[in-house]
């Protein structure tokens, strides 16, 4: 049975920005090329700049050409794009926009369905949502949905305020809060690996698992986002959302059904079971670091404090490592270690599940330990899983086992054609599937966990470690695991 193509107008606020250009236009293009959406769609770009529709279309074309190997049917594709110069605080801007949307609804037969995608400065999220309702843009025969990019607030109080403003205009089930990690193929596969394999689920608990490590390292520095990043840091930028979402998926109980509500409610339970870290204990559980100058391959890299729009004495962390404990029956006593940072040695997102040691060592020399079994879930850049086992090599007379890898990386899935995270998320939103978006309860719980940590850091209650650009982070992060008798497993 072929599924009916979703029909909708997508209004992108911030259409002249980087996200639209790098991710959104190419994703919509791929959806069309892959026949996920048909002819019944239009994209309206709104932003302050006084562009014309022609200028906008040529910008869309450039974006596709620079990001895709093939770019056929571009003219037909861009003919669905329209531009509307916009002032977010001016009611007449909304009225004019509504006129254009009504017209396009007729042209493209989109049945009154509208997605309002906020890909712009967060200070306007509330204003825009409220004006959309006030000026009647959400009042159609079809559905209206609001897609919101991060950051969703800066801490719990600001997130709560933003949520209230948005909720005055949209119901929770119309709000799609993006966490693009949830659109990644292998993040979505965490549940499948766990719940579709008899091999793993029985072992997925504190009886058999020693610890779980989630690493998301980047080679890039802060680039031209100094102004944003100075007020964010790695904790708000990566931990509050992406890292905690991955922990929730790794730790949740099997949902009774694969519905949005059931999955979310299991994730929420994990976030509720996260052991809160009090301000005075932060340095026992979390390490913050900032990159200094360094070298990667033959490139010299400047220190964070020498980047544009960064304070010379900045205390902002570009790296976080932490130990999380989940106080429930399944996970009591199992540390979840997370680490993320910029200007590290590798671009890599990986999950390593370390199983407990076997009870007796038959195959290793006295005093040596048998390497543990590891399940590695490769999220990016390669995708797949590796299982590290121990086996004897035939030619080895010593009877000693060696670690061997059962490797399903790269060819596990048809890696090359794996859709972009944004492609999946836009498609999900068009179909009304909110499973891979963050519910307000998840956002609130994540901020409650993270806030005392940033408070402690703001008050200078923990040292800011330095690490050279191009390294895997500060030594203090290794010590965090060493204290538990553990070590970070390499990500390369
Ligand atoms: C974003 C952060 O949410 O995620 C960026 O704001 C970060 O700072 C990015 O670089 C990482 O995403 P990915 O998909 O490249 O791992």
Q: What is the pLDDT of residues 67-81, one digit of tens each?
A: 888 889 999 999 999
For atom 6 of ligand 1, the residue with the nearest CA is 237
> What does the alpha-carbon distance between residue 331 and residue 167 come to, in Å, rounded to a whole number?
35
pLDDT exceeds 70 at position 94: yes
Q: Is 218 part of any known ligand binding site?
A: yes
With pLDDT > 70 as the criterion, what percentage of the chain qualifies?
Answer: 96
Distance 221 CA to ligand 1 centre (A): 11
- Return d(Cα 353, Cα 213) in angstroms, integer: 6
N residues, the chain: 492
Q: 124: which 2 tokens?
A: 């306007």
pTM tops 0.85, yes or no: yes
The model's confidence at residue 299, banded by pLDDT at 50, 70 and 90, is very high
- Mean pLDDT to the nearest integer, 269-283: 97
The DSSP result for 217-232, as a single string, is E-S---TT-HHHHHTT
Pocket probe for ligand 1: among 22, 178, 180, the residue whose CB has the most ligand atoms within 8 Å is: 180
DSSP letters along 380-403, please?
ESS-EEEEEEEEE-TT-TT--EEE
- The more confidently predicted of residues 418 and 471 is 471
**How many Cα atoms are found within 13 Å in the side-chain-facing hemisphere of 69?**
2
Mean pLDDT for the chain overall: 94
Q: Is the pLDDT of residue 226 over 90?
A: yes
Q: Was 421 annotated as part of a binding site?
A: no
Interacting residues of 232 by C-beta distance below 8 A, sequence separation 6+: 151, 154, 316
Q: What is the pLDDT of residues 134-184, one digit of tens each?
A: 999 999 999 999 999 999 999 999 999 999 999 999 999 999 999 999 999
pLDDT tens string 286-295: 999 999 999 9
Regarding the beta carbon of 237 and ligand 1, being less than 6 Å apart is answered: yes
Residue from 80, 84, 154, 242 carrying the catalytic annotation: 242
Tell me what pLDDT residue 367 has.
77
The annotation status of 161 as a binding-site residue, yes or no, is no
Confidence of residue 394 (pLDDT cuts 50, 70, 90): low
Q: How many of the other CB atoms lie within 10 Å of CB of 300?
A: 10
491 torsion bin: left (phi>0), alpha (psi -120 to 50), beta (else) = alpha
Residue 415: pLDDT band with limits 50, 70, 90:
very low
Any ligand 1 atom below 6 A from CB of 218: yes
CB atoms within 10 A of CB 173: 13
pLDDT of residue 410: 62
| 84 catalytic per annotation | no
Place of tokens 């403003």: 165
**13 three-class SS:** strand
Q: Which tens digit of pLDDT belongs to each residue from 356-376? A: 998 888 877 777 788 999 999
- Whose Cα sits closest to atom 9 in ligand 1? 238
What pLDDT is stored for residue 416 in this prediction? Answer: 46
- Is the pLDDT at 186 greater than 70, yes or no? yes
């Amino acid at each position: 049975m072929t599924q009916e193509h979703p029909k909708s107008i997508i209004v992108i606020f911030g259409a002249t920005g980087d996200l639209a250009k790098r991710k959104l236009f190419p994703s919509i293009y791929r959806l069309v090329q892959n026949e996920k959406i048909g002819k019944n769609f239009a994209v309206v770009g709104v932003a302050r700049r006084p562009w014309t529709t022609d200028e906008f279309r040529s910008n869309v074309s450039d974006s596709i050409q620079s990001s895709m190997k093939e770019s056929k049917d571009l003219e037909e594709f861009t003919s669905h794009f329209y531009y509307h110069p916009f002032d977010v605080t001016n009611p007449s801007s909304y009225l004019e926009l509504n006129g254009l949307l009504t017209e396009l609804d007729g042209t493209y037969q989109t049945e009154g369905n509208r997605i309002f995608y906020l890909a712009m400065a967060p200070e306007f999220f509330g204003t825009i949502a409220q004006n959309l309702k006030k000026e009647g843009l959400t009042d159609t025969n079809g559905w209206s949905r609001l897609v919101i990019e991060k950051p969703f607030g800066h801490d719990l109080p600001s997130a709560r305020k933003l949520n209230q403003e948005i909720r005055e205009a949209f119901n929770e089930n119309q709000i799609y809060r993006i966490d693009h990690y949830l659109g990644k193929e292998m993040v979505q596969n965490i549940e499948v690996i766990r719940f579709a394999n008899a091999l793993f689920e029985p072992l997925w608990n504190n009886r058999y698992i020693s610890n779980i490590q989630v690493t998301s390292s980047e080679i890039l520095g802060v680039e031209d986002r100094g102004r944003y990043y100075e007020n964010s840091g790695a904790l708000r930028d990566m931990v509050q959302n992406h890292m905690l979402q991955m922990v929730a998926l790794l730790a949740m109980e099997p949902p009774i059904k694969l519905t949005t509500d059931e999955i979310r409610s299991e994730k929420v339970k994990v976030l509720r079971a996260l052991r809160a870290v009090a301000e005075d204990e932060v340095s026992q559980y979390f390490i913050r670091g900032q990159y200094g100058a360094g070298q990667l391959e033959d490139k010299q890299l400047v220190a964070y404090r020498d980047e544009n729009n960064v304070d010379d004495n900045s205390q902002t962390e570009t790296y976080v490592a932490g130990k999380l404990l989940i106080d429930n029956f399944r996970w009591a006593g199992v540390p979840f270690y997370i680490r993320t940072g910029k200007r590290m040695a590798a671009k890599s997102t990986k999950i390593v599940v370390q199983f407990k040691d076997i009870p007796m060592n038959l195959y290793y020399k006295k005093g040596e330990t048998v390497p543990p079994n590891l399940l590695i879930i490769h999220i990016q850049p390669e995708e797949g899983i590796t299982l590290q086992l121990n086996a004897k090599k035939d030619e080895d007379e010593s009877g000693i086992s060696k670690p061997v890898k059962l490797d399903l990386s790269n060819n596990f899935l048809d890696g090359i054609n794996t859709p972009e995270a944004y492609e999946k998320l836009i498609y999900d939103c068009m179909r009304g599937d909110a499973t891979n978006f963050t519910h307000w309860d998840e956002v609130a719980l994540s901020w409650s966990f993270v806030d005392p940590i940033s408070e402690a850091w703001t008050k200078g209650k923990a040292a800011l470690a330095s690490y050279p650009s191009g390294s895997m982070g500060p030594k203090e992060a290794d010590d965090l695991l060493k204290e538990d008798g553990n070590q970070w497993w390499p990500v390369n």
